[in-house]
Each structure stands twice: as structure tokens, then as C-alpha cells.
Structure 1
Amino acid sequence: MHDVQIEPLLERLSRRHFIPGAQLAVHRGGITRAVEFGVQHTDGPPMTRAARVPVGSVSKTFTAALAMILVSDGDLDLDEPLTEYVPAAASLSDRLTARHLLSHTGGLPSDSDEVTASTLSKHVAECFRRADPLHEPGDGFSYSNIGYSATGHLIEVVTGMSWWEAMSSVLLRPLGVAAHFVVAPDGPQDAVPGHAVNPDRHRVVPVHQSLTLVDAPAGAIAASAIDLVRLGRMLAGDGPRLVADAELREMRTPAEGAEPFGMADAWGLGVALFEGGWFGHDGTGDGTSCHLRVHSESGTVVALTTNGSTGFAMWRELARELGVGDYDGCRELGERLTSTPPDCMGRFYNGDTEYSVMPGENTPLRLAVDGEPFAELTLYDGLLFRMRDVGTGDTTQTGRFLRGSPGRGIGWLQVGGRLARRAA
């Protein structure tokens, strides 16, 4: 990691990306440095060190760490069929395990459009009953919020507590982190609001969090950058010994069958893996973007929280300037294709979500998600593609088409780590 002055760096990048407020914490050489910039909301108080920002999917790493505490204590077996704990899993597969849920290799769709249940147990049962599996457990990677709702319910079964109670008492309190949740059974708790940012128009608008109770294990935690550093230090083996060393190593070991193209270089249990020995997670709430990176060999931890929707682009720059491990799918792109295979076009499904690929105007192909324009696609060798986001113009994201088997037609689309299968 590079030696840089983090305070002017945070201010410069926040201003460039029109971020209202941000926190940056870096733990290195046994010392934690933390700086803040801006305001909690456009007409509100300044961003403080203790302010808690909705961290989105970084919550999955908290949920995974909680599950691994139970594994360390002998209360949960990663490879026991999930049906032993959650009978409703029998409607899906008797091969599904907690390891599959934590590594996104269970074949579960990402989300459910029809959420009618108000408890994790009923929601998970409904999802398992309605799910059209993308593949057999262990045979591929597809990022799944449903899988983490199921992990949250599994934690409830094993502990006899709600996910919120178990998270607070088993993980957060021992870490020295005050529990704050975007959504909870007794109502939402105070958190920094997110903001929709339009850089071209210099427009910044506050937005509300829309997370439901049943999605809580996948994205409900609100935390400061200092809080994220505490979690990262524990995962690096520095801090409270809540997870045994063997389980910590297992978390950062590449999971079998996990190919998270478009998201990370590999995937462990609850964490993405990056080149150079880095691991962590990224998360977006409504108008927030937060990031955690850990380097266990050196004990370095870097955490960024932002309350602006352009925070992901800001993180990319910050990671480069700090020399922190991050994913760059563009480095895998080879020669640009001069012709477009006709079987790229069509409709692909991940659960209830429809991905439509059609001829483009400025590029060979365009992608719509549930009928809404999403990105323009430029094709490269190996059926990889670079996406140009129609809303932001960002061109750093990549995806790919996959054939069912060698010599056969395209049967799959992978975007943002999510698999979508061609409609029959």
C-alpha cells in the first residue's frame, strides 16, 4: 500500500465526484488513521467519525462472520445439508449447504420480486418453494441476496435469536461496534441518508432507504468507516478472537466453483478475493457506496463510506492511489470483435429479473433490465463485453456471455456476478 496523505486525498476525490460526505479509515502498522469530509446530508450537520452510513452489501460480510463464529463454536456445520437446519430447503435441493450460501454457489436467484412475508423464516420458505435454480449447488457462481436472507434465517435457527439480536450480541458488541440497522423489527434507526448524484448537472438529491425486513442479513447494517476497520481487523486475526484461525483462513480461501466474473478475482465465504492477497466487500445502499479491504499478511485494513451514488467510481480512484487490491475486469479484455454472434441477442432470466440483449445504436449491443435501458455493450474475444452505463457513462464494468457447452449456442449471461439463463 502506498504512503499518501489521506485527508487531502479524500477531500479531492469527494469533490471530484460530488460526494456530500465521506469517511476514510486506514489501519496499518498497528495504527488506525481516520478522516472525514463534508456533510451527512445536503443541509445538515458535518460528517463525523461516529456517523453511521448504510453499508449495503458489506452487511453480507458481517452476516458471514457471524455464521463463522457459530462454525468455530461447533454449533453450525458448513457442509451439513441445509435441510438438517431448515426443512424448507428440501423443496430446492438436498445438496445445498451453508458453504454454498456464503460463497454464492448455491444456484439461487439474486432477488424475489414478490415479497409478501414479514419474517425471515416465511420469506426463505417462499423463496425456496418458488425458486427456479440457476444450477446445481456448487456448480457455478451467481451473486444472491436470497442466499444471505437464508443465511440469516439459518443463524436464527441455530442461535434461537432473531438475526438482529444475534448480530448485536454475538458479533457487534464483542467487536466494540454499536448496532445500527437501516431496517429492524422495532423500526429503522438513525443513519446518514444517501444521495442520488448527477455529476453532469451537479445535482445532489437525498434519497430514502428502501430495504425490507427480509433483506436485512444481506444489507441492513449502518456503520462508520472505523466500525468497518474493526470488522476487517478481526477477519485478519487482529482483535477479538471471535472466529478461529482455521475458519478465518477458510473465509479467504477461493470457494470451489466460484467464478465471480465482473465482481472479483475469486470468492471465499462472505468475502470477495482480489489480487495481491486482498479481500473484502463492496456495498451500495440507496444513494450510498461503502467499501472494505483487508490484507491479512500485513494486517492492513482500508474502509471507505460515502453518502453519494457516485461513491463506487470514487472508490476505484481511491484504491488505485492507495495501492489497495481491487477488481479490474477490463484487464481481461482481449481483441475487440468485428462481428456480433447472432445468438448473443435474446432474453435471459435470473429469477424474476429479465435481461434483454438487443441490437445497439452506437455499440453492437444494448442491455435492458426489466425493460429499462441499462448499458451499451462492446464485445471482445471470448464473448466478454465492456458495459457503458446509460445513466452515468461509466465504462469500468464488464460481463460475459457463456455457452452451455463447447460448440453449443450461448445459454447464459453474467452481469454484476449474477447469472441469467436464456429463455426457452
Structure 2
Amino acid sequence: MLYSTTTVPVRGHARPLLQRELHHRLDVLARAHRVPGAQLVLDTGSELVSVHVGTADAATGAPFTADTAVPLGSLTKPYTAALVLLLAEDGDLDLDDRVADHLSELRESGEVTIRQLLSHTSGLPTGVDSDAAARTTAARYLSAVGAAGDALFPPGSDFSYSNAGYVAAGRLVETVTGMSWHEAVDALLLESLGTVPAFLGKAAPARPVAAGHALNTATGRVRPVRQNLAPLEAPAGALQASAVDLHALGLALADRSEALPPAVAAAMRRPEAAAHPGALADGWGLGAALYRQDGRLWCGHDGNAQGTSCHLRVDPDSGLVVAFTGNAGAATALWRDLAEDLERTIGVRVPAMVAPTGPDHPVALPECAGTYANGGLRYHVALEPEGSPTLSVDGDLPIPLLCYPDLSVELVDPGTGRREPGGRFHRDPATGAIDRMQISGRTARRVAA
């Protein structure tokens, strides 16, 4: 694997030792995790350092630069949320409007509001996979996911991460502005952030872009992978950007730039009462995930496209911004290791992921077995002969679960045995029976024992 490494002080005078250390650690971790290329921007308020290493495309050997745009996946969603909030700030819509009053294709969604779309508290299912989405129109897609019978819970009462909610938010932008989502996000937001637009599915971007990569376990080689986002899903995941670009968004969220009005930034990082995302984060605002760390409430978001992993963390109290992009799926593990290094380097613990709650010892929970549904997705919880539960999604290989007395669960990597927060089961308050589960932020209703 060809690696080139560069350190670029973006503004001010960063300590040479800090620059060299971050540069070295990013290079070492990228090699260790078999990630072809990565970018990191660290802004402490007094020092700003940008470092990047490696190659943008393992097949061509194109170098990673500070300007290389990486498919952001779900880190597109804060941009779409900010766009909707800018329209609300201008009086073009009200966040508590019913979505159905603007989008006739969601007329069966009842009282779902724009605010609930942005905070994932609408009760809409996540939506069909990208291959199926590519075979339909946005209107038909939303009509299907908005069917009253598929609602996961009453609007505004719980949390379920939903790509469909952001497809709807993008359609809302198009309806209000008369522009496509691509045109609107560029003209109304990216330009003010100083971000040169690059989108999945759009030909001839005006800047270098990185490929996503996966490790071929049979050959041990890292290969580029194809992005398969459907065009209608663009508002949920089509943006490509660099860590420098994510840093610009982070500055706006921390009220350190004029790219977003203070009221918009505040709405994005203000916790919504019903938003309990479980393993994804500690809370959610209007478009931003929220993380509690050492008495502070950080904001940001994570994003994964095919073979990429991108992360933004912002501490509004201190103004600290950390932005990271990596062009392989393994970059998620790289990001977590890097966050630990940052704690040692700058003395600040960056919340890379939700910390395990550390409940009591695992317990048997045989009543959790059954099938749960989120739209067309099926989650099947089965019991092994000795009674331990496993989870499979749409027939994939089962993953071991660990259940705890508070109904929280951990997912166990079958290969490494590593445990990670998974979510929790929920009981019906009236009957006491388990009627829902939330895994990786997505809620599913029980449909069969």
C-alpha cells in the first residue's frame, strides 16, 4: 500500500510537536487498520492542525490531499437539517408544521412534524435498501414508508433513526425552494461554509474525491468498492467532503463562524425530549447527535458510506472541533483509537462512541425471542440451546447478544468477542410484555413470538 504523509497548519501557529505527533499517529494507525487514506483536523481554539496520509484510491494510487472529498454517508444529514432550519429561520416553513401539509405523499403519516423528521422522532421506518430505492420515485418511496400501519410509535414519543425521514426533509426543501436538493444545499449552505460541492452520482466533481475500500480477507488486499446510494436518498447520504469541510461545519455548530445563524446552530445542538438514541448517542438535536462526556454535551455526527467512515465532534463550551475522514470501513476502529490518542495528546476526552453503561452481569431473557419489524426490515432474536440469545437482520448470520437486567443489550463480535453497546428492549407499559427493541438506534416492533 502506497502511503504519503503531509501535515498542513491551516491557521495560526500550531506547536510543531503537536503537528508531528498527530501526523505520526494518524499514519501509524492507518497502516495498522489497513486504511488506505485518512484526514484529521483538530481545532482547540488556539491551535489548528490538519493532517492527511495515504492514498485516495488504492487502484490508481491517487494521493490523499487536504482537499480530497470522501463520501460522508449519514454525515450528510446535518447539512440537510441545517438547510431546513435556514428555511424555517427565513419564515418559509414552521418546524411544527405537519409534514403532510407540505408533502402529499406523506398524507397517511398523520401528525408527524418537520421537527420530528430532523430529530428521528417521527416513528417513520428507516426505508428500503438503496437497490430497491433506485427502482422507484421519491414520491412512491415516501408514500410506502409513510403508511399508517408501519408507524413504529406515535410521533414525538420515541426515537428511531430513519433515512426515510431525511429523504422527506430533502423533498421538503425542494418543495419550498423550487430547487433540487443538490442546488439548494450548495447555494444556501455549502457556499457560506466555503465547501466546494461534490456529490455521489454526479459526474465530474470540481475537486479530487476518494474511493471507499474494503479488505478482501481471502487475498489480504484492500480494494475499492462501488457506492450504491439511490438518487432519491441524496439528502440522507450523498455529500462528499473533506475533514477541512467538516471542520467548517463544526465551527458553525460552535458559533465560531457566521455560516449558520446562532439560532440555527442552537436548535441543532439542543436536546429533543423524546430523542433517546441508545447506542448511537446520548441524545439528539435537530440534525446533530449529542454526546455526554465529563459533564459536557458535545454535538456532531457519524457517517459511513460503502467503505468509508467519517466523524465530527464539537464541544460548544470550549469551541473544540475534531473532524476525521477515512476511506475504508476499518476507519471506524481507527477513529476510536485516534480519539484515545487525542486524550493523551491534548488532555481532552473526545467522545468517539457511546460508552457502555456497565450494568450488572448478563441475565437470561428468554421472553425477548421473536421477530421484530421496522418497515420491511426483519430482526429475528433466537435462543441458542443453552438459552443465550442471538440477533439476525433480514436473514444475515446471527450475532450473539448479551442482555442485562435494565433490558439493555450488547452486541458481541463473533470473530473477536469484542462487546459494543447495541440498544435495548422495551416493555409495553400496560402489559409488561416486551413489545419493541431498539438496535443501533433503529426501533422495531414485535410482530411474532
TM-score with structure 1 setting the length: 0.92
Does structure 1 retain, via aligned residues, the 8 Å contact 2:196–2:207? no
For 1:217 and 1:85, locate their aligned partners in 2 and report how far apart those are by CA, in whole Å: 17
Q: Match for 2:171: what amino acid?
A: H
User: How far has the Cα of 1:184 moved from its partner?
Assistant: 4.1
User: How far has the Cα of 1:198 moved from its partner?
Assistant: 6.0
Q: Tell me which moved more, 7-16 or 303-312.
A: 7-16
Seen in structure 2, the aligned counterparts of structure 1 residues 361 and 183 have a Cα distance that, compared at 3 Å, is farther
Q: Match for 2:212: what amino acid?
A: G
User: How far has the Cα of 1:334 moved from its partner?
Assistant: 1.0
Look up the match of 2:315. Answer: 295
Secondary structure in 2 matching 1:332? coil
Look up the match of 1:335. Answer: 360
* Aligned 1:373-384 pairs, distance under 5 A: 373-384=397-408
Q: Match for 2:58: what amino acid?
A: T
Secondary structure in 1 matching 2:215? strand
Does structure 1 retain, via aligned residues, the 8 Å contact 2:105–2:139? no
User: How far has the Cα of 1:129 moved from its partner?
Assistant: 4.0
Q: Match for 2:56: what amino acid?
A: Q
Measured against aligned partners, the alpha-carbon deviations of 1:59-79 in whole angstroms (never above 9, x if no partner) come to: 001111111111221212101
User: How far has the Cα of 1:246 moved from its partner?
Assistant: 2.1
Look up the match of 1:168. Answer: 186
Secondary structure in 2 matching 1:378? strand
Q: Match for 1:331: what amino acid?
A: P
What stretches of structure 1 of length at least 5 have no aligned partner? none
Secondary structure in 2 matching 1:423? strand
For 2:297 and 2:20, locate their aligned partners in 1 and report how far apart those are by CA, in whole Å: 21
Q: Which has the higher contact order (CA 8 A, sep 6+)?
A: 1
Measured against aligned partners, the alpha-carbon deviations of 1:385-407 in whole angstroms (never above 9, x if no partner) come to: 21113466542232211111266
Which of 306, 309, 327 aligns to 1:286? It is 306
For 2:254 and 2:217, locate their aligned partners in 1 and report how far apart those are by CA, in whole Å: 36
Does structure 2 retain, via aligned residues, the 8 Å contact 1:292–1:301? yes
Q: Tell me which moved more, 370-379 or 99-108.
A: 370-379
User: How far has the Cα of 1:84 moved from its partner?
Assistant: 2.2
Secondary structure in 2 matching 1:170? helix
Look up the match of 2:11. Answer: none
Q: Match for 1:404: what amino acid?
A: D
Seen in structure 2, the aligned counterparts of structure 1 residues 109 and 392 have a Cα distance that, compared at 3 Å, is farther
For 1:380 and 1:422, locate their aligned partners in 2 and report how far apart those are by CA, in whole Å: 19
User: How far has the Cα of 1:231 moved from its partner?
Assistant: 1.1
Look up the match of 2:345. Answer: none
For 1:186 and 1:124, locate their aligned partners in 2 and report how far apart those are by CA, in whole Å: 30
Q: Match for 1:288: what amino acid?
A: T
* Aligned 1:365-376 pairs, distance under 5 A: 365-376=389-400
Seen in structure 2, the aligned counterparts of structure 1 residues 304 and 104 have a Cα distance that, compared at 3 Å, is same
- For the aligned residue pairs, the C-alpha RMSD in angstroms reads 2.5
Q: Tell me which moved more, 340-349 or 125-134.
A: 125-134
User: How far has the Cα of 1:28 moved from its partner?
Assistant: 2.3
For 2:140 and 2:25, locate their aligned partners in 1 and report how far apart those are by CA, in whole Å: 46
Which of 26, 33, 43 aligns to 1:27? It is 43
For 2:55 and 2:281, locate their aligned partners in 1 and report how far apart those are by CA, in whole Å: 31
Aligned residues: 420
Over the matched positions of the two proteins, sequence identity in percent amounts to 40
Q: Match for 2:44: what amino acid?
A: R
Q: Tell me which moved more, 399-408 or 62-71.
A: 399-408
Look up the match of 2:116. Answer: 100
User: How far has the Cα of 1:91 moved from its partner?
Assistant: 1.2
Q: Tell me which moved more, 11-20 or 304-313.
A: 11-20
Seen in structure 2, the aligned counterparts of structure 1 residues 58 and 328 have a Cα distance that, compared at 3 Å, is closer
Look up the match of 2:87. Answer: 70
Secondary structure in 2 matching 1:303? strand
Look up the match of 1:223. Answer: 241
Secondary structure in 1 matching 2:303? strand
Residue 420, structure 1, aligned to residue 447, structure 2: no
Seen in structure 2, the aligned counterparts of structure 1 residues 400 and 307 have a Cα distance that, compared at 3 Å, is same
TM-score with structure 2 setting the length: 0.87
User: How far has the Cα of 1:199 moved from its partner?
Assistant: 7.6
